[in-house]
């Protein structure tokens, strides 16, 4: 058996075992079927969700929030990352704060952005921007710090102008770290936006999930969560592919 | 000159500059709020936030809340380790499992697993169990990956020593492979604890239960904004200190 076939087999069996275990648990009567519905009702809830025009409105709200938050996060993260990466003094002064905030759970800042931006989509964009900022800033700064000194010296010995230094020396060297920071950033923006929607909102996919929970439409809750996961996995897969194509 | 020289030199030290930057920023915000440029309902005065930490300390028993959060994070990491270290071992022992699952685990690490918390609310309700299980879910991924990578990276020379002593499979694992992989597994546990803590605080905030995260949510709901900011500041400090201590602890342990 070839290795690729083996891997595929393991994966198929893994998924089958997980789904089978769920179904067995649902039908066993050990737990209430309201809490663990069988796969049938979940699939039909997923189909009903995808056929509901309101789902596309919610998806559009969430995607809009993610895009705005991500653009802000990337722009601010790149700008600050370049400054911190090039100045050892500013790095020493501000990196402790960046590190401290980067390790904090970002959802905890939701009350602050809601005081500033209200309960609507702009607070979700702001929280997404805050969350996505940190991976971009950290990897941009780290990428610049690690540009090899010898490359910089070669550039200097060719008397490159500052602009040429950026275009010929720094940019090619930091492209990889920046793209991987942007991939991580998108992931955390997605999480921050959806969590904020779950906590306080009146539209979006996160709202849809928590609304199903609050009205005890449990099959629909699982269906919406599964759809969110598939979308997030698709986005992450696309970004990983982009990252690999940059590395070549 | 002889007086100014050292003074300027001190100002140039990054950490001093960091502290000064923070004080200056706080003073600007203080003035902006006092002058009416920023509403105290959006950003309270920094001085009020500092005082509110003292108030939270007594009225909300901040140390106890911190202990509760930390206990949840440690429980989450222990639960994660109990599942993830054997899983990492299995992925190493059976290469097909490793090849099949490792990319999935990597993807899961970036996936919004924290969004699954309503699912666990359905099972366990608003309780410590929900918080610990959610924390364990994120903590398990780095622990499993580091266990696998640690075992994979055991140097062949060490294994050859084992072979030359005719060690059997079990002896080989416990005398050679596991000890050699242990430092990497500990790195995984450290990351697991940090990610677990982050998720624990986040879930506490979301379900308004438990320690530090709950306090922030309650203060927001009560419109006690200086106290809410104080809770957030406390969380930032705690998360950073723990991160720093674990990193220091690990490098100290390695240099022993």
The pLDDT > 90 percentage for chain B reads: 35
Neighboring chain A residues of B240 at a CB cutoff of 8 Å: 96, 99-100, 103-104
Say what the pLDDT of residue B1 is.
40
Q: Is B220 on the interface with A (CB under 8 A)?
A: yes
Say what the pLDDT of residue B168 is.
81
Say what the pLDDT of residue B3 is.
47
Which tokens in the block code for residue B117? 């918390």
Say what the pLDDT of residue B10 is.
61
User: CB A10 to CB B100 under 8 A?
Assistant: yes
Residues in chain B: 256
User: Using one digit for the tens of pLDDT, what is the confidence trace for A149-194?
Assistant: 788 888 888 888 888 887 888 888 888 888 889 988 998 999 999 9
User: CB A115 to CB B118 under 8 A?
Assistant: no
Q: Is A22 on the interface with B (CB under 8 A)?
A: no
> What gap in Å lies between CA B255 and CA B243, rounded to an integer?
19
Q: For the ranges A76-80, A105-109, B143-147, B252-256, which has the lowest average pLDDT?
A: B252-256
Given a contact cutoff of 8 angstroms between Cβ atoms, the answer to whether B192 and B143 are in contact is: yes
Residue B218, judged by CB atoms within 10 A of its CB (0-12, 13-18, 19+), counts as middle
Given a contact cutoff of 8 angstroms between Cβ atoms, the answer to whether B122 and B164 are in contact is: no
What distance in Å separates residue A162's CA from the closest CA in chain B?
26
Q: Is A219 on the interface with B (CB under 8 A)?
A: no
Q: Is B239 on the interface with A (CB under 8 A)?
A: yes
> What gap in Å lies between CA B118 and CA A213, rounded to an integer?
7
Where is mean pLDDT largest: A122-131, A210-219, B21-30, B239-248?
Answer: A122-131
List strand residue ranges (DSSP E) for A190-242, in order.
Answer: none
Say what the pLDDT of residue A51 is.
93
When pLDDT is averaged across residues A129-145 and rounded to a whole number, the result is: 92
CA angle A225, A228, A232 (to 5 degrees): 140
pLDDT bin (cut points 50, 70, 90) of residue B249 is: confident
Q: Is B26 on the interface with A (CB under 8 A)?
A: no
pLDDT exceeds cutoff 50 at B47: yes
Say what the pLDDT of residue A248 is.
59
Give the closest of A103, A198, A213 to B239, CB-based. Answer: A103
ipTM above 0.90, yes or no: no
Say what the pLDDT of residue B91 is.
92
Say what the pLDDT of residue A78 is.
93
pLDDT exceeds cutoff 80 at A227: yes
HSE of B121, CA atoms in CB hemisphere, 13 A: 21
User: Using one digit for the tens of pLDDT, what is the confidence trace for B175-191?
Assistant: 888 888 888 999 999 99
Task: Write the DSSP assignment of B99-160 as a string of letters.
Answer: HHHHHHHHHHHHS-GGGGHHHHHHHH-SSHHHHHHHHHHHHHHHHHHHHHHHHHT--HHHHH
Interhelix angle B14-34/B46-59, nearest 10 degrees = 100
When pLDDT is averaged across residues A100-109 and rounded to a whole number, the result is: 88
Neighboring chain A residues of B101 at a CB cutoff of 8 Å: 10, 14
> What gap in Å lies between CA A218 and CA B13, rounded to an integer?
57
User: CB B110 to CB A96 under 8 A?
Assistant: no
pLDDT bin (cut points 50, 70, 90) of residue B123 is: confident
Q: Is B208 on the interface with A (CB under 8 A)?
A: no
Q: Is A99 on the interface with B (CB under 8 A)?
A: yes
pLDDT bin (cut points 50, 70, 90) of residue B2 is: very low
Neighboring chain A residues of B225 at a CB cutoff of 8 Å: 115
Q: Is B101 on the interface with A (CB under 8 A)?
A: yes
When pLDDT is averaged across residues B125-145 and rounded to a whole number, the result is: 93
Give the closest of B22, B41, B119 to A115, CB-based. Answer: B41
Give the closest of B14, B15, B111 to A229, CB-based. Answer: B111
Q: Is A232 on the interface with B (CB under 8 A)?
A: yes
When pLDDT is averaged across residues B147-173 and rounded to a whole number, the result is: 85
Given a contact cutoff of 8 angstroms between Cβ atoms, the answer to whether B146 and B89 are in contact is: no
> What gap in Å lies between CA B103 and CA B83, rounded to an integer?
18
> What is the pTM assigned to this prediction?
0.86
Say what the pLDDT of residue B9 is.
62
User: CB B21 to CB A94 under 8 A?
Assistant: yes
Q: How many CB atoms sit inside 10 A of residue A115's CB? A: 19
User: CB B115 to CB A225 under 8 A?
Assistant: yes
Closest-CA residue of A relative to B124 is A35
How many angstroms separate the most distant Cα atoms in chain A? 77
> What gap in Å lies between CA B78 and CA B192, rounded to an integer?
9
Say what the pLDDT of residue A206 is.
92
Given a contact cutoff of 8 angstroms between Cβ atoms, the answer to whether A174 and A139 are in contact is: no
> What gap in Å lies between CA B143 and CA B173, rounded to an integer?
18
User: CB A191 to CB B115 under 8 A?
Assistant: yes
When pLDDT is averaged across residues B119-130 and rounded to a whole number, the result is: 88
pLDDT bin (cut points 50, 70, 90) of residue B11 is: low
Neighboring chain B residues of A88 at a CB cutoff of 8 Å: 14
Give the closest of A101, A112, A232 to B112, CB-based. Answer: A232
pLDDT bin (cut points 50, 70, 90) of residue A137 is: very high
pLDDT exceeds cutoff 70 at B229: yes
What distance in Å separates residue B111's CA from the closest CA in chain A?
7
Q: H-helix or E-strand containing A100?
A: helix A88-103
User: Using one digit for the tens of pLDDT, what is the confidence trace for B179-222?
Assistant: 888 889 999 999 999 989 989 999 999 999 988 999 999 998 88
pLDDT exceeds cutoff 80 at A195: yes
User: CB A218 to CB B14 under 8 A?
Assistant: no
What distance in Å separates residue A172's CA from the closest CA in chain B?
26
DSSP summary character for residue B36: T
Say what the pLDDT of residue A224 is.
93
Q: Is B120 on the interface with A (CB under 8 A)?
A: no
User: Using one digit for the tens of pLDDT, what is the confidence trace for A31-89?
Assistant: 777 788 889 999 999 999 999 999 999 999 999 999 999 999 999 999 999 899 888 88
Q: Is A110 on the interface with B (CB under 8 A)?
A: yes
pLDDT exceeds cutoff 80 at B255: no
HSE of B105, CA atoms in CB hemisphere, 13 A: 23
pLDDT exceeds cutoff 60 at B7: no
Q: Which residues contact B152 (CB under 8 A, 6 or more apart)?
A: B92, B98
Q: Is A98 on the interface with B (CB under 8 A)?
A: no
Q: Is B228 on the interface with A (CB under 8 A)?
A: yes
Closest-CA residue of A relative to B232 is A108
Neighboring chain A residues of B201 at a CB cutoff of 8 Å: 105, 108
**CA nearest neighbour of A139 among A169, A166, A173:** A173
Tell which of A93, A135, A213 to mutate to test the B interface (max B CBs under 10 Å): A93
Q: How many CB atoms sit inside 10 A of residue B66's CB? A: 16
């Amino acid at each position: 058996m070839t290795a690729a076939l083996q891997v595929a087999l393991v994966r198929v069996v893994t998924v089958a075992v997980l789904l089978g275990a769920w179904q067995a648990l649902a039908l066993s009567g050990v737990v209430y079927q309201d809490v663990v519905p069988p796969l049938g009702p979940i699939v039909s809830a997923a189909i009903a969700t995808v056929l509901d025009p309101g789902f596309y409105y919610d998806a559009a709200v969430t995607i809009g929030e993610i895009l705005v938050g991500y653009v802000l996060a990337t722009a601010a993260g790149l700008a600050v990352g370049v400054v911190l990466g090039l100045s050892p003094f500013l790095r020493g002064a501000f990196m402790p704060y960046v590190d401290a905030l980067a390790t904090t759970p970002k959802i905890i800042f939701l009350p602050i952005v809601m005081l500033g931006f209200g309960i609507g989509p702009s607070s979700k964009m702001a929280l997404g921007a805050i969350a996505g900022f940190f991976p971009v800033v950290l990897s941009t700064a780290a990428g610049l710090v690690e540009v090899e000194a010898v490359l910089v010296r070669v550039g200097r010995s060719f008397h490159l102008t500052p602009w040429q230094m950026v275009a010929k020396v720094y940019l090619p060297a930091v492209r990889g770290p920046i793209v991987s920071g942007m991939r991580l950033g998108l992931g955390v923006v997605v999480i921050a936006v959806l969590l904020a929607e779950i906590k306080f909102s009146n539209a979006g996919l996160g709202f849809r999930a928590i609304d199903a929970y609050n009205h005890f439409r449990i099959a629909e809750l699982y269906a919406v969560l599964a759809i969110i996961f598939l979308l997030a996995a698709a986005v992450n897969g696309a970004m990983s592919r982009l990252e690999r194509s940059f590395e070549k | 000159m002889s007086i100014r020289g050292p003074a300027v030199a001190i100002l140039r030290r990054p950490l001093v500059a960091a502290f000064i930057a923070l004080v200056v920023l706080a003073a600007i915000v203080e003035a902006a709020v006092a002058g009416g440029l920023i509403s105290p309902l959006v950003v309270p005065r920094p001085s009020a936030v500092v005082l509110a930490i003292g108030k939270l300390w007594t009225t909300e028993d901040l140390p106890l809340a911190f202990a509760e959060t930390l206990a949840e994070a440690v429980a989450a990491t222990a639960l994660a380790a109990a599942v993830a270290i054997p899983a990492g071992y299995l992925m190493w022992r059976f290469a097909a499992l490793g090849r099949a699952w490792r990319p999935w685990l990597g993807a899961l690490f970036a996936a919004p697993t924290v969004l699954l918390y309503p699912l666990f609310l359905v099972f366990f309700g608003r309780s410590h169990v929900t918080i610990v299980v959610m924390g364990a879910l994120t903590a398990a991924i780095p622990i499993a990956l580091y266990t696998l990578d640690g075992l994979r990276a055991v140097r062949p020379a060490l294994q050859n020593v084992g072979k030359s002593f005719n060690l059997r499979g079990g002896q080989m694992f416990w005398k050679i492979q596991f000890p050699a992989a242990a430092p990497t597994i500990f790195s995984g546990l450290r990351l697991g604890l940090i990610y677990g803590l982050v998720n624990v605080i986040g879930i506490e905030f979301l379900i308004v239960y438990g320690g530090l995260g709950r306090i922030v949510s309650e203060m927001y709901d009560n419109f006690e904004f200086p106290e809410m900011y104080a809770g957030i500041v406390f969380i930032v400090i705690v998360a950073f200190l723990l991160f720093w201590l674990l990193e220091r602890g690990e490098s100290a342990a390695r240099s022993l």
